[in-house]
Structure 1
Amino acid sequence: YVLSVLKFTYPTLFQGWQTFIGGLLLHVSWKLGWVEINSSSRSDVLKWLPASLLFVGIIYAGSRALSRLAVPVFFILHNVAEVLICGYQKYFWKEKTPPAKICSALFLLAAAGCLPFNDSQFDPDGYFWAVIHFFCVGAYKVLQKLQKPSILSDIDQQYLNYIFSVVLLAFASHPTGDLFSALDFPFLYLYRFHGSCLASGVLGFFLMLSTEKLKGLLAPGQCAAWIFFAKVITAGLSLLLFDMILTSATIGCFLLGGLGEALLVFSEQRNPG
C-alpha cells in the first residue's frame, strides 16, 4: 500500500524505517526473554557481513520492484532464486537433485520467463529491480548454507542484518537523494501514511519472528508448505485490494509458477535438508 498506492518510493528511508523497527522490537523481545540472541565474537560478525550486505540488496531491490509490480508478479520473479540455488547445488556442490526438484526449477523458470511477454502492465524498471532482488536472495541463501554449521542462529543473523541495514541505509539516504526528496512527498503528513508505515514495520517484524519460530517447530517440508500456502493467500488477497489487469496468459504464468513451487514443497517433504 505504501509503495504502490501512496507511491512512497524512497527505499533507503522506508526500508531503513522497517529494519529499525524490526531491530528495536527484536532487541526488546531479547531483553524480555522471548527470543535468545547469543553474544558473538568479532570474527563471527565479520564473517556474516557479506550476507548482511546481500540482505540490504534484497530489501532495497525488493522495495523498488514492489513499488512497480503486482504482488503475484513479484512472487513469480522472487521464486527464480530457488532455481539459482538448485543450479548451484547441482553444478558446484555436485549434489544429487531429485527429479521433482528439477521439474520445479524448470516450471519456475518458465513462468518467470514467459511473464514479461504476457504482462499487460509490464514495467521495465520493476522487472529490472526484481532481477536484482532474486539474485541477491539466491546469493544470500547460498552464503547461508556455506556458513553452516555456524555459531550464529537464524535470529542472531537477522539481528545483525537489522543493525547493518539501519546503519547502511541511513548513510545511503543522502547520496541517493531520498532524504530531501521525501520532504516533497504529498502524503507526508497524512495519518494513513504514518499508520501504514508503523503497521508495515510491526507486521514485518512479526512475520519474520513467526517464520523463524515455524522453522524451529516444523520439518523443512512442512514449513515450506505453510509458507507456500501463505503466499497463495497473499497473492489472492492482493488481487482484491490492488488494481491488476488479468489475462488468460498471465493467469497461466501464475498457475505454472504455483505448480513449480508446489513441486518444490513436495521435493522438500520427500528429501528434507
Structure 2
Amino acid sequence: MCMRRCVVGLTFCTCYLASYLTNKYVLSVLKFTYPTLFQGWQTLIGGLLLHVSWKLGWAEINSSSRSDVLTWLPASVLFVCIIYAGSRALSRLAIPVFLTLHNVAEVIICGHQKCFQKEKTSPAKICSALFLLAAAGCLPFNDSQFDPDGYFWAVIHLFCVGDLLSVLDFPFLYFYRFHGSCCASGFLGFFLMVSTVKLKSLMTPGQCAAWIFFAKVITAGLSILLFDTILTRATVGCLLVGGLGEALLVFSERKGS
C-alpha cells in the first residue's frame, strides 16, 4: 500500500508539473491567449477522455436526474470563470507568483468553514492563513514584473476556486485545472484530474496536502529556470512567506488527520 501511494503521489506531481509548464509555455511563449477557446478545447478533450474511461470501466459516473443537474449550474458558471480567469492570469504572471496568489483560495475555504460551518480551526491553520494572505498581499508591491491585468484575473480566479470548493457541490470538481491551450495540455489536464482524484481517495488529507505542496514547490522551482522570471529579494521573501504558510497548512492537516 505504501508503494502504491508513492507511485500515485509521484504520478500526481509529474502531471502537475507537466500541466503547468505546458500551459505556461503556450500561454506566454507562444502567445496563444484565447481563454474561451481554451475552455472549449479542454472541456472537449476532458469530456471525451472521461467518457472513454467510463466505457472502459476505469471511472464511475453516477446518473442523475434533471433536477440534480440544475443544481450544478451555479458551479458550472464558476467553472467557466475559473478556466477563463486562470488562463488570463497564468499568461501574464510567473508560475511562482500565480501559485502564491492561488493559495489564497485556501484562506477563503478556511474562512467559510470557520464562519458558516462552525468548524474548529487549529492555531497552525490560522497562522497558515495569515502567512498566505501576507504573502499574496505583499506580492503586488514587490513584483518587479507586476502586471495589473494578471493580478486582476488571478483574484477572480482564486475567489471562484474558493467559492466552488467551499460552497457548491459539483460532480466534476477537478476540471477547474483545464486551463491549457493545446492538445498536449488537454491530455495533461485530464491526467492531472484523474491523479488528483486517486490521490485524495488513497491518502489522508494530511498526506494529500503534503504531495500537493511538494508538487507546487518543484513546479515553481523549475519554472524559474525555464521561463523569463525576475525575482528580487522582496519577491523571494513574499514567496517564502507563502511557502511557510502552506507548510503550516500541511502540518495542520496532518495533525488533524
Relative to the length of structure 2, the TM-score reads: 0.86
Residue 34 of structure 1 corresponds to 58
Aligned mate of 1:81, from 105, 108, 111: 105
RMSD: 1.7
Residue 189 of structure 1 corresponds to none
Q: Counterpart amino acid of 2:29? A: V
**CA deviation string 1:140-187 (max 9, x = no partner):** 01124xx4xxxxxx7x4349x69xxx9xxxxxxxxxxxxxxxxxxxxx
Residue 25 of structure 1 corresponds to 49
Q: Counterpart amino acid of 2:140? A: P
Cα gap change, 1:158 to 1:110, in 2 (>3 Å): closer
Q: Does 1:134 align with 2:158?
A: yes
**CA deviation string 1:204-247 (max 9, x = no partner):** 11011000011111111111111111111111111111100011
1:1-273 correspondence runs (5 A): 1-144=25-168, 147=169, 156-158=171-173, 197-272=182-257
Q: Percent identity?
A: 81
Cα distance in structure 2, aligned partners of 1:218 and 1:92? 27
Unaligned stretches of 5+ residues in structure 1? 148-153, 167-195
Q: Counterpart amino acid of 2:64? A: S
Cα distance in structure 1, aligned partners of 2:204 and 2:121? 19
Q: Counterpart amino acid of 1:233? A: I
Cα distance in structure 1, aligned partners of 2:83 and 2:172? 15
1:106 shift after superposition? 0.2
Cα distance in structure 1, aligned partners of 2:33 and 2:85? 11
Unaligned stretches of 5+ residues in structure 2? 1-24
Cα distance in structure 2, aligned partners of 1:56 and 1:268? 29
* 3-state DSSP of counterpart to 1:9: coil
Whether contact under 8 Å (1:68, 1:123) holds in the other structure is yes
Cα distance in structure 1, aligned partners of 2:155 and 2:126? 21
Cα gap change, 1:226 to 1:76, in 2 (>3 Å): same
Cα distance in structure 1, aligned partners of 2:128 and 2:256? 14
Relative to the length of structure 1, the TM-score reads: 0.81
Q: Counterpart amino acid of 1:246? A: L
* 3-state DSSP of counterpart to 2:128: helix
Residue 174 of structure 1 corresponds to none
1:59 shift after superposition? 1.1
Q: Counterpart amino acid of 1:10? A: Y
* Count of matched residue pairs: 230
Whether contact under 8 Å (1:119, 1:250) holds in the other structure is yes
1:269 shift after superposition? 1.1
Whether contact under 8 Å (1:48, 1:157) holds in the other structure is no
Mark the structure with the bigger radius of gyration: 1
Q: Counterpart amino acid of 1:8? A: F
1:261 shift after superposition? 0.5
Cα distance in structure 1, aligned partners of 2:193 and 2:83? 13
Cα distance in structure 2, aligned partners of 1:211 and 1:90? 25
